[in-house]
Amino acid sequence: QTEEADVMLLSVPSYACQRKTTLQNHNSVFTDALTLLAENAEMEDEDGRGVAFRRAAAVLKALPKAVTSMKQLNGLPCLGDHCQRVIRDILENGISSEAEATRQSERYNALKALTGIFGVGAKTADRWIRDGIRSVAMLRDSGHALNRAQLAGLQYYDDINQPVTRAEADAIGDIVERAVASVLPGAQISLTGGFRRGKLTGHDVDFLITHPEEGREEGLMPKVVSWLDSQGFLLYQKTMRNSYLESKDGPARPPSSMDRFERCFSIFKLTTEQKQEALTAEAPTESQHPESQMKCGELKETGHAGHKPWRAVRVDLVVSPISQFAFALLGWTGSKLFERELRRWAGYEKAMSLSSHALYDNVQKRYLRAASEQEIFAHLGLEYIPPAERNA
- Identify which range of 16-24, 109-117, 200-208, 275-283 contacts Mg ion by CB under 5 A: 200-208
Using the rule CB under 6 A, is 173 a contact of ligand DGT? no
Annotated catalytic residue within 89, 159, 170, 206: 206
- Identify which range of 16-24, 212-220, 334-342, 376-384 contacts ligand DGT by CB under 6 A: 334-342
Nearer to ligand DGT, 89 or 341 (CB): 341
Residue 388: CB minimum distance to Mg ion, A: 15
Annotated catalytic residue within 32, 229, 316, 361: 316
Read off φ and ψ for residue 48, nearest 5 degrees.
-60, -45
| Amino acid of residue 201 | T
322 binds, among ligand DGT, Mg ion, none (CB under 5 to 8 A by kind): none
103 binds, among Mg ion, ligand DGT, none (CB under 5 to 8 A by kind): none
Q: For residue 128, which of 249, 3, 302, 29 has the smallest C-alpha distance?
A: 249
Beta bridge partners of 209: 189, 319
Using the rule CB under 6 A, is 31 a contact of ligand DGT? no
Annotated catalytic residue within 204, 229, 249, 361: 204
List 57, 320, 335, 343, residue binding ligand DGT (CB under 6 A): 335
Using the rule CB under 6 A, is 27 a contact of ligand DGT? no
List 203, 223, 238, 350, residue binding ligand DGT (CB under 6 A): 203
Using the rule CB under 6 A, is 194 a contact of ligand DGT? yes
Q: What is the 3-state secondary structure (H, E, C) of the chain?
A: CHHHHHHHHCCCCCCHHHCCECCCCCCHHHHHHHHHHHHHHHHCCCHHHHHHHHHHHHHHHCCCCCCCCHHHHCCCCCCCHHHHHHHHHHHHHCCCHHHHHHHHCHHHHHHHHHHCCCCCCHHHHHHHHHCCCCCHHHHHHHCCCCCHHHHHHHHCHHHHCCCEEHHHHHHHHHHHHHHHHHHCCCCEEEECHHHHCCCCEECCEEEEEECCCCCCCCCHHHHHHHHHHHCCCEEEEEEECCHHHHCCCCCCCCHHHCCCCEEEEEEEEEEHHHHHHHHHHHCCCHHHCHHHHHHHHHHHHHHCCCCCCEEEEEEEEEECCHHHHHHHHHHHHCCHHHHHHHHHHHHHHHCEEECCCCEEECCCCEECCCCCHHHHHHHCCCCCCCHHHECC
316 catalytic, yes or no? yes
- Identify which range of 25-33, 65-73, 251-259, 378-386 contacts ligand DGT by CB under 6 A: 251-259
| Amino acid of residue 99 | A
Dist. CA 41–CA 305, nearest whole Å: 42
Instruction: Compose the 291-330 pattern: x for residues touching ligand DGT by CB under 6 A, - for all others.
Output: ----------------------------------------
**Which residue has the closest beta carbon to ligand DGT?**
334
Residue 389: CB minimum distance to Mg ion, A: 17
Nearer to Mg ion, 202 or 387 (CB): 202
- Identify which range of 106-114, 191-199, 231-239, 300-308 contacts ligand DGT by CB under 6 A: 191-199
Residue 35: CB minimum distance to ligand DGT, A: 12
204 catalytic, yes or no? yes
206 catalytic, yes or no? yes
Nearer to ligand DGT, 50 or 331 (CB): 331
Q: Please answer whether residues 29 and 68 qualify as being in contact, where contact means their C-beta atoms are separated by less than 8 angstroms.
A: no
Dist. CA 4–CA 12, nearest whole Å: 17
Using the rule CB under 6 A, is 193 a contact of ligand DGT? yes
Beta bridge partners of 207: 191, 317
Using the rule CB under 6 A, is 331 a contact of ligand DGT? yes
Using the rule CB under 6 A, is 107 a contact of ligand DGT? no
Residue 26: CB minimum distance to ligand DGT, A: 21
341 binds, among Mg ion, ligand DGT, none (CB under 5 to 8 A by kind): none
Q: Could you list the residues that contact ligand DGT (CB under 6 A)?
A: 193-194, 199, 202-204, 206, 243, 257-259, 331-332, 334-336, 339, 356
The residues carrying an active-site annotation are 204, 206, 316
